[in-house]
Structure 1
Amino acid sequence: MSISRLLCLTLLVLCPSLKAQTTAPELPKVLLVGNASAPAPVPLVAQRLKGKAVVVGTDAGGLQEALLRERPAVVHFQAEPGLGEPRLQEILAQMKRETATAFVVAMAQENAAVVSLVNEAGVAVHDVRGLDEERHADAVADCVMRHWLVLHYSKPGPGRATGPEGAVKYRADEAAHDAEVPEMYKKLPIGKLTLPADASAWQKQRPEVLRIVQNSLGDIPPRPEKAATRVVSRELRREYTLERVSIDNGEGNDISALVLIPEKRAQPAPAVLWLHSSTPDKNALITPGTEPESIGEALVRQGYVVMAPDAWYYGDRAENVPSGPRDVYHRGVPPYANVTQDALLKLNLWLGRTLWGMMVRDDQIALDYLCQRPEVDTKRIGATGMSMGSTRSWWLAAVDERVAAVVGVACLTRYENLIRHGNLKAHGLYYFSYGLLKHFDTEGVLALIAPRPFLALTGDIDYGSPVDGIRVLEEKVGAVYRTTGAAEKFRSVVSPDTGHVYTPAMRVAMLAWFRRWLQEPAK
């Protein structure tokens, strides 16, 4: 036996949890239901979902038997052009009883009555009109995996240190950890942002602050003047249309994104760029959690066009990493996130740029795309997200003035305070820029948003956002907003005894902030 194999076996014996952590989750089973005119495209879809799902097929007559035999996680049902409403209602009622299975109806011909019937049952219609064989297989593979992910993760995640008991423990742990941090890390030579005396002084100072912030991202490649795009799949849902789009980022790593377009909307409509956190991907936009309605549906039903792009190594971009499929990030399998970030951080440093800079660049490309959509009012685009998504949103707004309003949830971090508390591990490797602290802390980044509306919603026992740092940011960023005559456009709400969570009250505040600053005044 080789030494390396012996070491591996020893590790598994001594650390049995290691095997569980590094084993990918069990593959979901997908049932494709075809018909006489459109047989189930099992081979082509199976090819696309190799290693991601088990794909089986049947026809409409064999649906009941296949459900009992296969116990699928997702059923993709290709409706026949002549399928009568009574039979369709029967199938919809049958699938409603299959609570552990996601169900989607595909249509190759236009039929508004069928779309309405299916949507009223709470089921999405997969629009496969006009697709050739290859594009049809792409669309089906994309659609079924999205529905499985939403079904699989439609439950609240665990909260962190929330409530009075959690607060007591958090503060005791923080005090103990503070005492362990060496003094040298509490006295680092960190630059200070000079607060402007008046609006004119800020106008003169702002370009240099922006230059420093942009330089901290590294030598970022220019964005494509007009990126090539394509719609991979399209779904007709109750009150809105969902599109999964692919956008060429000019670096060989196409940006995958969801776009939600409301049926009832202003012409043109306000839009929200929703940026996911470090655990899920773009599909969290349409995944219910603590609320029965997903955050994407809450926004789209208020008339916003909503876009959610995958960050660099997430979602449909997961396999496009330096080491290829073997180190793909698997949600819920911790080691892979660190391995993937580690490789991308190293590569980008060698190329003279930061991983964070490339992520911000991709969010700007997503914004470019959103501004090209004919449905969107480019003067009324907001950005929001939680955790990593929060940081993505306010960094994007700092470097790109097309963002008209921002809501950051559960991540308002001042780096000096994070270091003083010894909490650098609270954020992944993706998070770090180059040399920023030689000049100033994150108040310099946030000040660039002024005078545009910015709302921060954070808990006071959030490990990644020490509350003493939030108070410094409130003072310094608030001063810039007051100087620019926009005091009412900056608000920071710190929720007591609240950890790294997105509470229902925070969602209400987010929706109200965008309603105030992005929606047209009521007539």
Structure 2
Amino acid sequence: MSHPPLGNLHPSISAIAEHHPPALSFLNPQFTDLHAWRKTARAKALELLRYAPPPVRQDPQVIEVVDKGDYVREKVSFASTPWTRIPAYVLIPKGLGAPAPGIVALHDHGGYYVHGKEKLVETERESPHLIAYRRSGYGGRAFADALARRGYVVIVSDAFYWGERRLDLQQTPPELVKEMQRRAQFKTGVAGVNETYSLLEELVMRHIVAAGATWMGILVHDDRASVDYLCSRPEVDGERIGCVGLSMGAMRANWLFGTDPRIRVAVSVGWMTDWRELLPEHIARHSWAQYVPGLTGWLELSDVAAMGMPGALMVQQCAQDALFPPIGMQRTCDRLAALYAKAGLSERFAYRFYDAPHQFNVEMQEEAFAWLDRWLK
């Protein structure tokens, strides 16, 4: 017989979860008006994210332009706060006769911090590690490129702590880095660097919380800044914006869809399980970046995504995904179906389980793209 990871403490924690149901869920009978509920729920969700920097001019800069044949890849940067600039790729199809729909493509966590946006965008002189990673997680396809070839203007930015925004280990106390490398059991090369970053996540989270914010708050704010930039482009129709992501990218998509009314459609791949469903066995398998203290007393993750109604949402789950309990994935999808049904919007929600491990393979991508086409074209 297996025991919960926290042993004798589990009953107390389980009782806390049971006695703190989400007070602002749209499924609660006191909520009948979708618009009024969404306004209240979004305000609480944004409050819990604890991150509201002052407005700033984005001051966009184009760093590089590469002709990719049927589309152009720009590398850009723009400000999201007075203290932050975000590096991103923007993919622009050629031959646009009118403003096109836009997609915010959101990269994953994957324990792979060396790259962020490059996971989804094909670049020159790619490392074997990146190619292998994309093969295992994305069927070998840079799906942002596939979306550009389909006629979408696509933006892919580096999340805080990934890619060009990762921690500079050269500016980190050497004794701390050595300790993390020791804990990484002497892994070398890219694997060792990624393991070191993974072990440092807890320290980063402590600093963010001590500073008065949440890591998820930073991610959501910056992703909304990506929407700002995308909508500022003359090639983009700001009334037709969607988002899609795998894993942590799906978590980012859930929050972006729920908090930004400009997002008309979302595809959430491999991260749609309510937090309570992860207790007790699966909670430790997820990054510090994704926790929002106090959230579940007000909203479950499915409620956060449902704040995007009347926007259209597709959830793709992987039946062999070891990061989530199968029954938890199913119950959360059923709960989302109930949320959309209560709003009279059942046709705007879809979910499917795939007989695959944690990934966004080409078959899944094609079905996701068809969903985006349905609501944006």
TM-score in terms of structure 2 length: 0.83
Residues 1:419 and 2:279 are matched in the alignment: yes
Instruction: List aligned pairs for 1:153-232, cutoff 5 A.
Output: 176=2, 182-187=10-15, 188=17, 189-192=19-22, 193=25, 195=27, 200-224=32-56, 226-232=57-63
Letter in 2 for 1:256: P
Identity %: 26
- Matched with 2:289 is 430
Asked whether the 8 Å contact 1:231–1:243 carries over to 2, the reply is yes
- Matched with 1:237 is 68
* One of 512, 517, 520 as aligned partner of 2:370: 512
* One of 503, 514, 519 as aligned partner of 2:361: 503
Deviations 1:319-355 (A, max 9, x none): 4699559669995333332354334312221221101
Query: 1 or 2 for the larger relative contact order (CA 8 Å, sep ≥6)?
Result: 2
Residues 1:342 and 2:202 are matched in the alignment: yes
Distance 1:378 1:321, change over 3 A: farther
* One of 235, 239, 244 as aligned partner of 1:375: 235
- CA positional deviation for 1:237: 1.1
Deviations 1:199-226 (A, max 9, x none): 95333322222122112211432342x3
Distance 1:250 1:508, change over 3 A: same
Inter-partner Cα distance in structure 1 for 2:251 and 2:84:
22
Letter in 2 for 1:310: D
Asked whether the 8 Å contact 1:460–1:466 carries over to 2, the reply is no
Structure 2 counterpart SS, 1:404: strand
How many residues in Structure 1 have an aligned counterpart in Structure 2? 342
Inter-partner Cα distance in structure 1 for 2:209 and 2:169:
15
Inter-partner Cα distance in structure 1 for 2:71 and 2:244:
20
Inter-partner Cα distance in structure 1 for 2:60 and 2:322:
39
Asked whether the 8 Å contact 2:240–2:264 carries over to 1, the reply is yes
Inter-partner Cα distance in structure 2 for 1:201 and 1:321:
50
- Matched with 2:116 is 281
Distance 1:325 1:295, change over 3 A: farther
Structure 2 counterpart SS, 1:366: helix
Letter in 1 for 2:62: V
Residues 1:314 and 2:166 are matched in the alignment: no
- CA positional deviation for 1:424: 1.8
Residues 1:366 and 2:226 are matched in the alignment: yes
Distance 1:252 1:194, change over 3 A: closer
Residues 1:403 and 2:263 are matched in the alignment: yes
Deviations 1:17-63 (A, max 9, x none): xxxxxxxxxxxxxxxxxxxxxxxxxxxxxxxxxxxxxxxxxxxxxxx
Inter-partner Cα distance in structure 2 for 1:203 and 1:511:
28
Asked whether the 8 Å contact 1:266–1:303 carries over to 2, the reply is no
- CA positional deviation for 1:407: 0.5
Inter-partner Cα distance in structure 1 for 2:163 and 2:173:
13
- CA positional deviation for 1:372: 0.4
Inter-partner Cα distance in structure 1 for 2:277 and 2:62:
44
- Matched with 2:306 is 447
- Matched with 1:268 is 99
- CA positional deviation for 1:453: 0.6
**C-alpha RMSD over aligned residues:** 2.7
Asked whether the 8 Å contact 1:321–1:344 carries over to 2, the reply is no
Deviations 1:71-120 (A, max 9, x none): xxxxxxxxxxxxxxxxxxxxxxxxxxxxxxxxxxxxxxxxxxxxxxxxxx
Distance 1:180 1:435, change over 3 A: closer
- CA positional deviation for 1:459: 1.1
Asked whether the 8 Å contact 1:459–1:500 carries over to 2, the reply is yes
Inter-partner Cα distance in structure 2 for 1:305 and 1:198:
41
* One of 249, 257, 275 as aligned partner of 1:389: 249
Letter in 1 for 2:311: R
Letter in 1 for 2:45: V
- CA positional deviation for 1:483: 2.4
Distance 1:293 1:463, change over 3 A: closer
Structure 1 counterpart SS, 2:81: coil
Distance 1:461 1:180, change over 3 A: farther
* One of 84, 89, 99 as aligned partner of 1:258: 89
Letter in 2 for 1:217: L
Structure 2 counterpart SS, 1:451: coil
Letter in 2 for 1:453: A
- CA positional deviation for 1:396: 0.7
- Matched with 1:128 is none
Structure 1 segments unaligned to the other structure (5+ residues): 1-174
- CA positional deviation for 1:492: 1.4
Structure 2 segments unaligned to the other structure (5+ residues): 123-130, 182-188
Inter-partner Cα distance in structure 1 for 2:171 and 2:286:
23
Letter in 1 for 2:159: A
Structure 1 counterpart SS, 2:58: coil
Letter in 2 for 1:451: P
Residues 1:303 and 2:162 are matched in the alignment: no
Inter-partner Cα distance in structure 2 for 1:361 and 1:482:
29
Letter in 2 for 1:185: I
- CA positional deviation for 1:451: 1.5
- Matched with 2:127 is none
Inter-partner Cα distance in structure 1 for 2:172 and 2:235:
37
Inter-partner Cα distance in structure 2 for 1:322 and 1:211:
40
Instruction: List aligned pairs for 1:26-45, cutoff 5 A.
Output: none
Asked whether the 8 Å contact 2:54–2:82 carries over to 1, the reply is no
